Amino acid sequence: MPLPSASQTVAAGAQDAQQVDVAVVGAGFAGLYLLIRLRRAGFTAVALDTSDDVGGTWYWNRYPGARCDIQTTDYSYTFDPELESAWQWSEKYATQPEILRYLGFVADRYDLRRDIRFGTKVLTATWDEAAQRWLLTTDNGKSVSCRYYIMASGCLSAPKPPEIDGVGDFKGEIYFTGRWPHDGVELAGKRVAVIGTGSSGVQSIPKIAEQAAHLTVFQRTPNFAFPAHNGPSPADRVAALEKDRADYRAQARLSLTGVPLERATEFSWQLSDAERRQRFEKALAAGDLVAMLSQLWADQGGDLEGNALASDLLRERIRSIVKDPETAEALTPRDHPFGSKRPCLETNYYATFNRPNVTLVNLRQEPIQAITASGIKTDRRSVDLDVIVFATGFDAMTGAITAVHPIMGRDGKSLSDAWANGPRTYLGLTAAGFPNLFMITGPGSPSVFSNMVVSIEQHADWVVDRLVAMREAGFTAIEATEAAQDGWARHMADASQLTLHRLANTWYTGANVPGKAPGLMPYPGGVGPYRTICDEVVSRGMLGFTLSGPNGAAQCNDGEVVRLQPDVRLVLNMLADLNLPPLESFGAEGARGFVAQFNATRPAGRPVGEVLDGTLAGADGPLPYRLYRPATRAGEKGGPHPIVVYFHGGGWVLGDEQSDDPFCRDMCRRSGMIFVSVGYRHAPEHRFPAAAEDGYAALRWIGEHAAELGGRPGPLLVAGWSAGGNIAAVTCQLARDRGGPEVAGQLLVNPVTDCTFDRPSYNDNATGYFLTRSLMWWFWDLYCSPADRTDPRVSPLRGKLEGLPAAFVATCEFDPLRDEGIAYAEALAAAGVPVEQLQARGHFHSSFTMVDVVATGVDGRTKMAEALRRFAEVEEAMPKAAE
Ligand code: NA7
């Protein structure tokens, strides 16, 4: 007799199952809100939870000192103004019992408990392709058959096993902070150990120290922590909320973190030491994670030097509190940048280590060998104990989804297998191969990088709105496509480049669980941008999803929702919102004025050793130049440095020797070379070949005056961006043909190389990416008559390419000039010129020169600087901080 198929087995199991439209795992913040939304939308729903009441994370984490660390003004539901006025928090950071009361209050107010099956664990979840439904088996009562299955199981709800030998041998009591007994634990007079110094350890250690006879803290990695200053909610925050609650909430939804705080816009190098300290003290006094993580200076989160300034101030504070220097040093984090690991809010944490009944054991110096019958044995000592508290954290983000029960999707594929090399999702909400499965704050969503409540509401709203839309359109199944999922993984990786999370071993990256695939799990691009992306998926016809239904109804609008680099997307959206008239409509003078005004609002570039303005001899009279000299670092010779002759962008019409200032400074620092930015003549006053001839004349003059300028004797280097890239390429050709000076290498960034406008990039990127096709046409018209356009002095692609200096050609995906840059690189290579190409994915024409806003351009600029150093045969490595 043939065995029944999986589908038949599921179908048989489904017959006496509880039938609902939607099953939800979890009755915490997410599960409760889902129930409210689903019920209001007319869906039948059940939530399943292993606990015996609502609360989720807040049901389990009852350890002493447990509190939220997002302020209660923000850590609240926002979907119902009446709920907001019906509940008053008593403190800035509520205790776990108060948060649990709040969730109970919400459950009562909306009569949610009748749809929750408490004490019920899902054992298996299996997709039935024929019925287009999920079947869930449980350990308590009926199975559940549902159309949609939603994991609202929390990001930090599957505690990690102890991972230390001998736990079973211990004769005393063992507790986990994440599974704390409901009737509390009597610690008075006992010898207690806490293992772990993340948020749970940092919150519980001062409380436990007050009760225990002696507390020994076993610390593997010290964390950055700063005071919570708990008490009443700060008056200014409450006032801002009460002034216009709807506006406050709207701002939160569009903010980066889900808390509407302004982020610092000044960079660390724009502030004096005193100003930086003042900002630090202000953030310290605020006692707010988001403030400390975002209001110091703009480069604190993504740049090592900017971050180090913040880290140092936090470290200094530890030394000022902890009396014993050795203990203070052990508590001082030195192995990760501030914010790359979840920082903690503390109340008396550091001061606790001054108590006579508290000992810190630094596991980096004396690892735990084993837990024994009487206590904990390290390399250096044995500590006798009555109680061991594990504050060792969670199998975060994925643990509660994959580790808890097998989820079998289409074709019997299990989610754990699909995620064996790390979680793969589309938007952190869905996974290809798992139709009708949703995750609330799953891996790939902002989740733990945000105020969870704001993210939960956005997710639940998005999901329920989709279910409603599908019902109306007659679809019964929704599934992410592989292409959309791959695109999301790329976007996640791009966004993570803007952060320093790669430099820390944390639960964000799975590093805390032995054997877990490494990779940043939360989405680091921010709550507001994420929300707009989710909305864009919908407005673009459910981009990246396959929808299907009975009678063959199907729709698939495949594709990637974000192809731009995350910061490029923000810049372009901002420009689009400004709704500016086309630049060419201002006329040359007007456009110059606009660009000058725009540049004036940009922060000054980073400091370099010296910036000098001077005059050089152009082809037809003097030209201004600006010289950037690298700073001399300790242990360096301090010059002479190789010289790079640089030509700014601006379509031969706009800009001057100062307009690419941030780029020149950045490249000067990265390459360790002198950059001389040349103020060549502009069209329409000076048409072709004025700019080209000035370029060559400037090269000659700089070559002749290299020593005076502090430059290294020998060949020069040439670089330029956009039309400046055109002048750079032409200058190299002229130098070859007119007897020098010798050029060691050329860096061409998005260069104009040819007068043909029919390459695909001119059409694909004709509008929408700032440099438009019509703007380029206008530039060409102002600079060069059609009759002259094939002259190699403006279309270097048409010139002789043999014998040119080695080249590095950078092009950007979303740039009309992309294909002519690539064509030039290929033609150079075909002519035997050594060429390196950088085809920058997701970038636009200004990505590399907008140093202050497009941080994802760093990688490209680093490669450019390396190429220049190779061309100039500079051997010693750049100091790390400049990389
Ligand atoms: P965390 O932040 O993961 O902290 C766990 C702590 O336990 C951390 O200090 C770990 O050190 C330490 N740990 C973990 N395993 C071991 C072993 N085997 N031996 C010694 N020490 C260990 O969890 P929390 O519960 O404190 O906080 C979780 C989140 O909840 C928090 O970030 C907030 O978002 C709220 P490590 O750093 O891995 O070296």
Q: What is the pLDDT of residue 881?
A: 46
**Is residue 196 in contact with ligand 1, taking CB distance under 6 Å?**
yes
pLDDT at res. 5 = 54
Asked whether the CA dihedral 14, 19, 24, 27 is positive or negative, the reply is: negative
Ligand 1 near 68 CB (within 6 A): no
Q: Across all residues in the chain, what is the average pLDDT?
A: 95
Q: Please tell me if the CB atom of residue 507 comes closer than 6 angstroms to any atom of ligand 1.
A: yes
Average of per-residue pLDDT across 754-782: 96
d(CA 607, CA 41): 57
pLDDT, one tens digit per residue, over 273-328 is 999 999 999 999 999 999 999 999 999 999 999 999 999 999 999 999 999 999 99
Residue 449 φ then ψ, to 5°: -90, 10
In this prediction, residue 633 carries a pLDDT of 73
User: Could you give the CA distance from residue 772 to residue 575 in angstroms, rounded to a whole number?
Assistant: 13
Q: What is the DSSP string of 176-220?
A: EGGG--TT----TT-EEEEE--SHHHHHHHHHHHHHSSEEEEEES
- Atom index in ligand 1 nearest the CA of residue 162 equals 18
Predicted pLDDT of residue 632 = 85
Regarding the beta carbon of 164 and ligand 1, being less than 6 Å apart is answered yes
Q: How far apart are CA 99 and CA 689, in angstroms?
A: 72
Residue 882: pLDDT band (50, 70, 90) is very low
Choosing from 207, 220, 509 the residue with most ligand 1 atoms within 8 A of its CB, the one to mutate for a pocket test is: 220
Could you tell me if 59 and 28 are in contact, meaning their C-beta atoms sit under 8 angstroms apart?
yes
DSSP 401: I
Question: How would residue 634 be classed by pLDDT, with cut points 50, 70 and 90?
Answer: low
- 175, 183 Cβ separation under 8 angstroms: no
394: helix, strand or coil? strand
CB 144 less than 6 A from any atom of ligand 1: no
For the stretch 356-394, pLDDT in tens is 999 999 999 999 999 999 999 999 999 999 999 999 999
Q: How confident is the model at residue 883 (pLDDT cuts 50, 70, 90)?
A: very low
Contact in structure between 744 and 713 (CB atoms under 8 Å): no
Query: What whole-number distance in Å separates Cα of residue 50 and Cα of residue 117?
Result: 8
What atom in ligand 1 is closest to the CA of residue 392? 7
Concatenate the DSSP letters of all residues of 484-546 into one string: HHHHHHHHHHHHHTTSSGGGS--TTTTTTSTTPPPS--S-TT-HHHHHHHHHHHHHTTSBTEE
Confidence of residue 552 (pLDDT cuts 50, 70, 90): confident
**Cα 541 to middle of ligand 1, angstroms:** 42
516 lines ligand 1 (CB under 6 A): no
Question: Can you tell me the distance from the alpha carbon of 592 to that of 586, in angstroms, rounded to the nearest whole number?
Answer: 9
What is the percent of the chain with per-residue pLDDT over 70, rounded to a whole number?
Answer: 97
* Cα–Cα dist 225/195, whole Å: 17
Q: What is the pLDDT of residues 435-480, one digit of tens each?
A: 999 999 999 999 999 999 999 999 999 999 999 999 999 999 999 9
Question: What's the maximum distance between 2 C-alpha atoms anywhere in the chain?
Answer: 97
- Interatomic CA distance for residues 507 and 199, integer angstroms: 12
| N residues, the chain | 883
Torsion of CA 260, 261, 262, 266, to 10 degrees: -150
Tell me what pLDDT residue 605 has.
85
Give the residue, by CA position, lying nearest to ligand 1 atom 31: 199
Residues ≥6 apart with Cβ < 8 Å to 866: none
Distance 60 CA to ligand 1 centre (A): 16
Which residue among 63, 156, 199 is best mutated to probe the pocket of ligand 1, counting the most ligand atoms within 8 A of its Cβ?
199
Which residue owns the Cα nearest ligand 1 atom 33? 199
pTM here is 0.95
**Torsions phi, psi of 734, nearest 5?**
-65, -40
Residue type, 545: F
Distance of CA 454 to the CA centre of its chain: 18
